[in-house]
Structure 1
Amino acid sequence: MANWKKSFNAIPEAIDAKLTQIKEDYVIVAATKKVKRHDVETEVYDHIGLIIKDDAVFAEGPVVPDESVGRTSAYNVNGREIVRKDLPKITKTFIWETPNFGDASTYGTHTHYNDREVYQRQIFEPRFLAIACELMSDPKLDTVLVKFSIEQIFDKKSPVFREDLLFALNLLQENTGVADIFSGEASRDEFIGTVFLDWEVFPPGNADQLITSMTKGSHGLPPDKQKVLSARLRMFQKFPVKQLLKGTNSFGSYVGALYADNLVVFENLNYGNALYILFDDWQEISQRSRLDLLKGTDENFERIVHTNGWDIKFEETMRRELATRSGERYRKRGKRR
């Protein structure tokens, strides 16, 4: 990686001034840069798909930068958690497995539960913003002009516009060494299509139809993700599902299940390293943007990371939540909160 400035603590003054000159509601994060062919040959830009092919500079992508590039790239792929010590503590249940008589292979395991008062955590879901490279000059020159851009449009009227803009600027700066903004020419519908997650609803018995809809066409899930999809749906249907859920359009990798108006499970199959159980009202959840889906702290949702034993934790959490909603006392540890 080249030795360029990695990030900004605040939106740079020059970009802030440019914002006041842009009259349109939408802006894009993009910048042009003179790129030396030697730098491309020495793989300075490989991580964003700018490579040498057929003796010329060639742009692949768009590419979601790898988490190893830097802090912002890691947040973009993995999300971020902040411990909110300024907020009241909440009760969380911790679940883990222990071998029976010290030998799980012979005697199996048993599940432990422990309630603890913990600080709330603010979860920032991974954004998965991609960077596109566009050649603006002859690709065989010793120095080529390249436009780098973030594949999302930003709405100046959004209450989190400046926060989102700073994040995108830092992602572009960290990966390319340049950052700037331009007026966005997209329509409102095109903008909404990049941000808002619409759900297609399937009856509980239509898992096969949901799988077909997520695997067909040029943008369908690859074979490895199809196996994950089938496994997730089998797991979801271990409990009485009211509706199966699928993200539409560019969010076709989202899959979930509705069990009650205030109990929804979902996961992003393309990028997910965690499964989410939400306790908010479904009608309100369905209207949120993708980035606002987990807005707030983890008081109203459970985030189950796909580490060893995550499936056991999911099943136990679901049993507890369903028992609570049916008015029954959870047989293993009582009611949640």
Structure 2
Amino acid sequence: MQVKGKSIRSVARLLAASKGCEEVKLAHRITDDTEELLSAVGFDKEPLTGDYLIPEVVGKVTALNARGKEIIRKDLPLEPQPRSYYRTWKDWHGQEHSGIQTRDINMYPREYQPAPEETLHVIEVEGDKYIATDSMELNESNESRNIYLSNLMLECFGSFEVLDSKNGNIISTKVKQLHWDILPPGEYPWEKAKSLVGEVTKKLKDSEKGVVETRMQAITKYNPDFLATGRAGFSGYFIYGFASKGIYVLESIYLDNATYIFGDNWEQLSKLTKNQIINGEIEHQRIVHDKKWKRTINSILAR
């Protein structure tokens, strides 16, 4: 599964492409069409396996990576800073003189943020050459670096694939995940699910967002250990799984849609269309969003 675009703001797409792998590299295959891109970031036209470098500046992310960042601390008082400049002036006799002069100018203090200096490597995978990042551990403590490296690759190449660091293979797309992005197993309380829901609800009115978030919180307070987010025609749909209870809850951002409760049959559900899931013969429970909705959800998930 390729991740394409100019940038990402969350790890949702990266986690979906990683298919549960905990340690990955981001890679872009070298082809005849990548010659200009390779040259732009500093590689030879025909790079050799083992070559590596800090990429040349081609945008904001690579600039930060190579040069770091100077932060103007406007929260601190002004302080005199020496500034030199070259100028020409005349003395009392009309004679011209040129040279460097230095003055103290009141300025806000500057704080330097060191450059990350992440490197890109030429590697070989199943007979093809790729440009790849160093390994990334997909956990919460490394989330900012993982987003940063994703955006570094997107700025340099416009897309990347995900490589399993342990076996050195590109992670392939599975048929069942064409409609769903399945996140790695683990608990998904509202604190973790909120950003994923927010990505989908950002175009809704505030009054509608409040309704959706309240419903999602009612489900996630029972700590689901499985979460799949819908894409394309399934966009706006979420499946919260409670594996130990054999319960999978289909909820959406569409206020008029009901909630659907399915048994332990995710493998089957993932291959069906929405119409087949909701109106088909798969055993399920339909819960209308009325005044009793929250009480019904609590009674089901509290078992």
TM-score, normalised to structure 1, is 0.37
Larger Cα-atom Rg: 2
